[in-house]
Amino acid sequence: MFADSTAHKRRTFRKFSYRGVDLEQLLDVSSEQFMEMVSCRARRKFKRGLKRKPMGLIKKLRVAKQTAPEGEKPEVVKTHLRNMIIVPEMIGSIVGVYNGKTFNQVEIKPEMIGHYLGEFSMTYKPVRHGRPGMGATHSSRFIPLK
C-alpha cells in the first residue's frame, strides 16, 4: 500500500521567476524594464550606460550561442570583466571569468541574474585551519625539503 502512494507522486519543479517575472517573459523584457527590476547598484550602473567592453562581451556571447550546434553548449567566452552584471540574455552561455590567475568556467543559470560575474569565480583559496604545514611546529623544521 505504501509503495503505491509513492509511485503516483510526480516531482514538480519550481518554476523560476525573477522578482515575480517568469523566465520566458524576462527574456522578452526591454533593457529599461529590466533596469527597473534590479537592485539600485545595478540600476545605477545601467543608467550610466554600458561601455564598450561590456557590450563587446554580450556580442561575443550572442555569437557563441548562435554558432553552437543544436543541443550543445556554446563555446567558452573568456573575460576579465568581473564587474559585469548578469542579464537575462546571457542565460545558457559559458563564460571564463578571470580570477587573477586562471579563467574559471561559469555556466550562466537563471538564478544568477542580477549578480556580478566575479561572484562565481573566487580570487583566493579558502584557508584550511588546523592543517600542518611548513613552519607550523618546531618539529616541521627537521622535515627535509623535497
Evaluate if residue 1 carries a pLDDT over 60.
no
Please tell me the predicted confidence (pLDDT) of residue 4.
55
CA–CA dist 112, 115 (Å, integer)? 6
**Alpha helices, H only, the chain:** 2-8, 23-28, 31-37, 40-47, 52-67
Evaluate if residue 102 carries a pLDDT over 90.
yes
Please tell me the predicted confidence (pLDDT) of residue 49.
85
Evaluate if residue 140 carries a pLDDT over 80.
no
Q: What is the pLDDT of residues 5-52, one digit of tens each?
A: 556 777 777 788 888 888 888 888 888 888 888 889 989 998 898 889
Q: Which residue's C-alpha cell is 541574474? A: 113
Please tell me the predicted confidence (pLDDT) of residue 94.
93
Query: Considering the entire predicted model, what is its pTM?
Result: 0.77
Q: HSE-up of 127 (CA within 13 Å, CB side)?
A: 2
Please, which residues have CB within 8 angstroms of residue 94's CB and are 6 or more apart in sequence? Answer: 64, 73, 74, 75, 76, 77, 105, 106, 107, 108
Query: Do 57 and 77 form a contact (C-beta atoms < 8 A)?
Result: yes
